[in-house]
Structure formats: structure tokens, C-alpha cells
């Protein structure tokens, strides 16, 4: 929106030309999202408290978790409403939706859809004795959103249209590209469902300690802001020998807004947390990271950048499979951060160490991005 307002002033008004640069609008989006989050965060927290949107740790089946999280009981939740809200407003103001920037609207649609599913889940927890909507229903709703977006990328958005359709690129190998557009794009639909819903669910599972998920998302957003910028820039993509996706660079602005919104939420979510994001936040933010990886054709790089989320999700899968097949648990409790909590590690130390690991993984992915 701001680009359209200032576009006609380029060359006539000093400074108007800055809005033509992705880097400037990404930085502006981050600052706007942070400012909006700080400005409205306190009011949102008070409103959530008034309507009774509070965490209920007594619903846990584990006596140990109830004891560990007793101080979290009755803390306002669903704070993801103001994170996602700040991010969306910033994106609408700073992103371009014209011409080749055809991925912008689909990305915002995905974030709204996934956040809406999270909102439904959070509201069900608050208003009923159940622990949210069923896992099958939640996954079904997320899958519907992922399919709609994937179909949009295959059709109107024309993802990798110049190559006949999207391909799966293997890191470190320059000439390996597996076509996903065959069989009417069914392989791409399956990859999109896995990446988008998997990323959202992984962030959701990681969201269990003050600042843990939000800090890791912010770090991943920085890494993918660089990746989407490189992929969207023809010369840089050629230099790095990665697939060039025209229009993908505009997602750098979206990731800037995501970063700013996460930093604003950390202002209130740092231990001891004044608010929790709830599923409305974790599913929306996780979906945004998955979408950035999908459009930039770096789905496999997401496994490295989001390594903390991947390990947290895998710990749940391993725990469930082990218990159902052997009747034994591998971890004291899953997801993995609870395993360390049960072992006596202080929450603040655990969170900071997760941030350190996330930072090292993000730097590794960027450092190895050129390796082909």
C-alpha cells in the first residue's frame, strides 16, 4: 500500500524512491510490526484477561507438569491475536501486490487461515472441558488451507512457471531437481501439505515455555529473510547457483514483519510471561515459515533452519510410537523441552540454549547456502 502511495512521487519527492527497495520495506515492516505489537500488546493482554482467556494448567494429565507450570496458571493466553494482527497490518502496508509480486496475497491468506484454525482450537479449550478440537479435525482444517494455497501457487501464482512447474531442490547438489509438477501437480500438493502443516504443528509443539517458540521463530525469520531475498534476486541467485524464483523476494518483507511481531511479543512473553500466544499464534507463525520455504523452493533447508522445531516434533512422534509398540517411553516427557524440565534444568537456561542452537542452525544454513 505504501509503495503504491509513494510510487508516483519517485523522482519528484526526495526519499520516495526508497519504497522501491525490498530491503527498505522489510526493515520498515519489522519496525512497524514491532511498534504495533508494543502499542497494542498491553491493551490486548488486559482485554484477554477480562474475557477470561487464561491458561489452565490443571487440564494437564501430568502431576509433574502441573507442579512445574503452577505459576503459569491463569496467565492470559491467545496473545497470538496481536502478534498475527501486527504482522498482517505491517504486511499490508509494506508489501507489494502488483505484477510479479504474486506470492504476497497467498502468504497472507495462509497465515490468516492457520491462525483461524488456532483460534478455533484455543476458543474450544476456553469454553469446554475438552483440550481443544480433535487432532484429526485440526489437521483436516490445516490441510484444506494448505491445499488451497498450493493450488494457488500452481495455478494463478505460476510458481516456477518458466521451468514447467515447481521442483524439489536438494541442498549441496547443483544439478539435482526433482520435478513436482508431474501427475497434475499431485507431488507438489503433497509436499506443500507436509511443509505447511508440518511447520505449523512443529512450532505449536515447541510453544511450551516462556519465549521458547517465539525466539526460535524470530531467528528462523531472519535466516529466511536472507534466503528469500537471494532467491528472488536474479543476479544473487545466479551467483549462489540456486533456483531463481521471480517475486519470491517480496516475502523478505513478510518475514521482516514476522520478525518485528515476534520481538514485540517477546517483550511481554519473556519469563515470567505476561501472556502466551496460544495456537492462534503458533500455527500462524509456523505456517508463515513453511510458506517462505515453499515459495523459495528451499523446503529441505527448512529442516536445518527450523531444526529446533523438527527435533521437538520428532520427540513426540518417537515417544508415541515407542509407547504404543513397546509400552515404554523414550523421554521423561514429550515434547523434548519437557524431558529436560523433568530432569531439573531451569526453564530460563533451557530457553536460552534453544535460542543458541537455533542461531547456530540458522547461521549454518546461510553459510552453506552457496555450497553446490
- CA-to-CA distance for 213 and 222, rounded, in angstroms? 14
Question: What's the pTM?
Answer: 0.94
- CA-to-CA distance for 193 and 216, rounded, in angstroms? 22
Q: What is the per-residue pLDDT across 208-242, written as a single tens digit (0 to 9) for each?
A: 889 999 999 999 999 999 999 999 998 998 888 88
Contact predicate 252/225, CB 8 Å: yes
What pLDDT band is residue 120 in, cutting at 50, 70 and 90?
very high
Handedness of CA 227, 232, 234, 238 (dihedral sign): positive
Residue 278 above 80 pLDDT? yes
Q: Give the chain's end-to-end CA distance (angstroms, integer).
A: 38
Q: What is the per-residue pLDDT across 327-348, written as a single tens digit (0 to 9) for each?
A: 888 888 889 998 998 888 999 9
Residue 258 above 70 pLDDT? yes
3-state secondary structure of 168: strand
Q: Which residue would you say has higher pLDDT here, 155 or 12?
A: 155
Q: How far is C-alpha 70 from the chain's CA centre?
A: 28
Amino acid at each position: 500500500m505504501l509503495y503504491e502511495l509513494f510510487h508516483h512521487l519517485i523522482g519528484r519527492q526526495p526519499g520516495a524512491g526508497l519504497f522501491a527497495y525490498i530491503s527498505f520495506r522489510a526493515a520498515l515492516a519489522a519496525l512497524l510490526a514491532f511498534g504495533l505489537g508494543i502499542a497494542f500488546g498491553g491493551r490486548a493482554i488486559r482485554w484477554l484477561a477480562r474475557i477470561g482467556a487464561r491458561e489452565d494448567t490443571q487440564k494437564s494429565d501430568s502431576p509433574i507438569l502441573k507442579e512445574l507450570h503452577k505459576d503459569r496458571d491463569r496467565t492470559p493466553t491467545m496473545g497470538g491475536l496481536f502478534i498475527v494482527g501486527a504482522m498482517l497490518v505491517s504486511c499490508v502496508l509494506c508489501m507489494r501486490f502488483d505484477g510479479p509480486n504474486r506470492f504476497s496475497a497467498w502468504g497472507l491468506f495462509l497465515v490468516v487461515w492457520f491462525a483461524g484454525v488456532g483460534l478455533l482450537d484455543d476458543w474450544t479449550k476456553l469454553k469446554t472441558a475438552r483440550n481443544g478440537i480433535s487432532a484429526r479435525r485440526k489437521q483436516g482444517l490445516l490441510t484444506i488451507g494448505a491445499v488451497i494455497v498450493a493450488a494457488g501457487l500452481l495455478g494463478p501464482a505460476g510458481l516456477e512457471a518458466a521451468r514447467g512447474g515447481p521442483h524439489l531442490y536438494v541442498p549441496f547438489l547443483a544439478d539435482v531437481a526433482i520435478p513436482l509438477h508431474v501427475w497434475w501437480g499431485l507431488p507438489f500438493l503433497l509436499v506443500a501439505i507436509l511443509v505447511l502443516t508440518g511447520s505449523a504443528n512443529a512450532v505449536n509443539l515447541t510453544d511450551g515455555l516462556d519465549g521458547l517458540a517465539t525466539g526460535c521463530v524470530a531467528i528462523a525469520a531472519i535466516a529466511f529473510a536472507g534466503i528469500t531475498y537471494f532467491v528472488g534476486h536474479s543476479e544473487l541467485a545466479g551467483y549462489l547457483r540456486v533456483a531463481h524464483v521471480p517475486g519470491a523476494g517480496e516475502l523478505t518483507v513478510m518475514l521482516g514483519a514476522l520478525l518485528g511481531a515476534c520481538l514485540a511479543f517477546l517483550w511481554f512473553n519473556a519469563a515470567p510471561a505476561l501472556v502466551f500466544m496460544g495456537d492462534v499464534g503458533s500455527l500462524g507463525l509456523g505456517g508463515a515459515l513453511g510458506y517462505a520455504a515453499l515459495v523459495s523452493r528451499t523446503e529441505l533447508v527448512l529442516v536445518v533452519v527450523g531444526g529446533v522445531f523438527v527435533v521437538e516434533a520428532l520427540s513426540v512422534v518417537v515417544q508415541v510410537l515407542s509407547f504404543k509398540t513397546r509400552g515404554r517411553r523414550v523421554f521423561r516427557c514429550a515434547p523434548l523441552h519437557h524431558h529436560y524440565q523433568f530432569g531439573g534444568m531451569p526453564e530460563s537456561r533451557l530457553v536460552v540454549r534453544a535460542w543458541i542452537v537455533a542461531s547456530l542452525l540458522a547461521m549454518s544454513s546461510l553459510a552453506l547456502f552457496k555450497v553446490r
